A and B are shown apart, each in its own frame.
Chain A
């Protein structure tokens, strides 16, 4: 597609359930990022994938969070045993990695609004 696509756009789940959030990046973008944005807060980095390299998982807040990227394209963020504090908007972004020193911008999806009740 023309942009980064995330699904679902909204998800309401019961506390303790597992959820999967999907991100479809722009074709040809090898870098993919997940961020979390809580109400009225800034962007919290979660995880970064680049090509076939090992992902940078340093932002994942607990072992209930995991993400994978299959075939270098679609990514899934999984939250197990959801808690109310997981309620937030989860944003995905992708970038084309340039060879030169000047860095290209990231393109964001519309986000998935997760509500844990």
Chain B
């Protein structure tokens, strides 16, 4: 079935460092792709989305580009802040409206 794979393990980095979280997907057809963020003690919030190939989603300095040729939707931010510490989930919605999530990545930004 359709699925999402995120890179293993937590990510720890210093403030103002460059962040990349890899996400690849397997899907038939043309899913819509999403990044969700979960701050400590809170529910999931939509961070950004892209609904067709080559679309770039962006929000709060984060960006991700829907790459159909590599089936990827990697999340990037040029200069992270301590307030970006959270868990990030890559997700897709496909034909039957099922939501598929990656396992999530804990990001810890050190001052």
Contacts and interface: CB of A to CB of B under 8 A. Distances in A.
A56 B100 CA distance: 14
A106 B45 CA distance: 9
Given A102-B32, A102-B51, A105-B34, A45 B99 contact: yes
Contacts of A93: 44, 99
Contacts of B74: none
B43 A108 contact: yes
Contacts of B68: none
Contacts of B30: 101
A103 B100 CA distance: 13
Contacts of B103: 41-42
Interface in B1-58: 30-32, 34, 36, 42-46, 49, 51-52
A45 B4 CA distance: 13
A30 B89 CA distance: 23
A105 B57 CA distance: 13
Interface string A86-117: 00000101010100011111111111000000
B44 A108 contact: yes
A111 B43 contact: yes
Interface of A: 31, 33, 35, 41-43, 45, 48, 50, 56, 91, 93, 95, 97, 101-111
Given A93-B99, A102-B32, A106-B46, 9 more contacts: A43-B104, A103-B31, A103-B51, A103-B97, A104-B93, A105-B49, A106-B93, A108-B36, A108-B45
